[in-house]
Structures are given as structure tokens and as C-alpha cells.
């Protein structure tokens, strides 16, 4: 079965991005986002495997006027499955979680994840209480998802099935203090960020 190119899929989803905070899990999602540019509202996580969805939840609750997109991989989402129950219980209408599922642990040698066997992340999200869920397998399905990332006034979970090909790494900034300050300045203004 053919799979989508992860970077082409992400570029399609981020087209006309506007005011969207993007939190990435470690590894490929961070490299993919960096390949699209380096925006002040980008918040790549380094070394926090399993934490992207919960960081996204915190930002969504703290910044309700922004859409928050968590872009993560299947390996990381499997590590943080419990976060889906908490997120569904909180139900922030501005949070979107998109899992780029290549069915591999890309950072440790391309071993198969459980999504290559029997685990259906969309079904897990549904079981936790998410109402708006989809699995994307075709390029033609990306535009409706992009529209919903902006327009839907409810929590959204999507799995995008992507090719396991290893792409050249495009590294985002790695300094956590810098990334935190940059995001705070983008959200609050530079002067308020310094005071806080």
C-alpha cells in the first residue's frame, strides 16, 4: 500500500497557517516542521517523548484564542496514550492532534510500532471520548483536514498514514529556554514575556 510523504502532507496541512501554535514531538515531527520554516509559534520538544499531547493541552487551555496543533508520531503517541483520556475529559475546542503514523520508531532504528500490527490510534481516541476523528490515507483527504484544523470548534484527532522513508534531518532550534521565550514573546509580546 502506498503511503503519503510526511513532509508534503505537513506542508499541505500548514498552508495558510495563520495563528496556530504547533507543538511537535521529538524526532521526525520536529524535523518535518523545521523543513517548513522556523516560526515563532513553533514549539518543538526535545527529549520529552510522550509529552507533546499534554504540552499541547496546557497551551490550548492557557491560550484559548489560538488553535493549537500537536504534531507527533505514532511511537510517541503510543508512549503517551493516557494523555488522550485526559484531553478528551478536558475537551478544549481549540486543540488538534495529528499523528504522522509511519508504523516505525524512527529515532531508534525503524523498528515496527504497534500500529504496524493491531493498534488503531483513531479507535483509541474514540474510546477516550474524542468526537472528531479521522484516518488519512490519501492526499485528497488532506485539504478537508486542513480546513477543519482552522474552522472546527471542537477537539480533533487525526492519524495521517505516511511512508516510513527516512528523510534528511532539518533541525529546529534545540535551546529549550530560547524556544520557550520565543513562544511566550509571540503570544504575549516581547515586553510582557520579559516581565513574566
Domain range spanning residue 156? 6-191
Flag whether 105 is in a domain.
Answer: yes
pLDDT of residue 47: 73
pLDDT of residue 105: 66
pLDDT of residue 154: 97
Return the closest-CA partner of residue 121 out of 134, 109, 105, 140. Answer: 134
Flag whether 1 is in a domain.
Answer: no
Flag whether 121 is in a domain.
Answer: yes
Cα 29 to Cα 72: distance, rounded to the nearest angstrom = 6
Q: What is the CATH number of the domain that holds 167?
A: 3.40.50.970
| Total number of domains in the chain | 1
pLDDT of residue 2: 66
Q: How far is CA 144 from CA 13, 24, 64, 134, in A?
A: 9, 21, 23, 11
Q: Is the overall model pTM greater than 0.85, yes or no? A: yes
Q: Which residues of the chain have pLDDT under 70?
A: 1-2, 105-110, 115-116, 190-196
For the record, the C-alpha cell of 112 comes out as: 515496527
Amino acid at each position: 500500500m502506498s503511503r503519503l510523504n510526511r513532509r508534503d502532507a505537513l506542508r499541505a496541512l500548514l498552508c495558510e497557517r495563520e495563528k496556530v501554535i504547533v507543538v511537535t514531538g521529538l524526532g521526525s515531527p520536529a524535523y518535518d516542521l523545521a523543513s517548513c520554516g522556523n516560526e515563532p509559534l513553533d514549539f518543538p520538544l526535545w527529549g520529552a517523548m510522550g509529552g507533546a499531547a499534554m504540552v499541547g493541552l496546557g497551551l490550548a487551555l492557557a491560550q484559548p484564542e489560538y488553535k493549537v496543533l500537536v504534531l507527533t508520531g505514532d511511537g510517541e503517541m503510543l508512549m503517551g496514550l493516557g494523555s488522550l483520556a485526559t484531553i478528551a475529559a478536558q475537551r478544549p475546542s481549540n486543540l488538534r492532534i495529528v499523528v504522522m503514523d509511519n508504523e516505525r520508531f524512527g529515532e531508534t532504528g525503524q523498528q515496527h510500532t504497534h500500529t504496524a500490527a493491531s493498534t488503531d490510534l483513531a479507535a483509541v481516541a474514540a474510546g477516550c471520548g474524542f468526537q472528531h476523528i479521522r484516518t488519512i490515507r490519501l492526499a485528497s483527504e488532506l485539504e478537508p483536514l486542513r480546513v477543519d484544523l482552522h474552522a472546527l470548534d471542537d477537539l480533533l484527532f487525526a492519524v495521517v498514514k505516511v511512508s516510513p522513508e527516512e528523510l534528511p534531518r532539518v533541525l529546529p532550534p534545540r535551546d529549550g529556554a530560547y524556544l520557550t521565550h520565543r513562544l511566550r514573546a509571540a503570544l504575549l509580546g516581547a515586553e510582557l514575556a520579559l516581565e513574566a
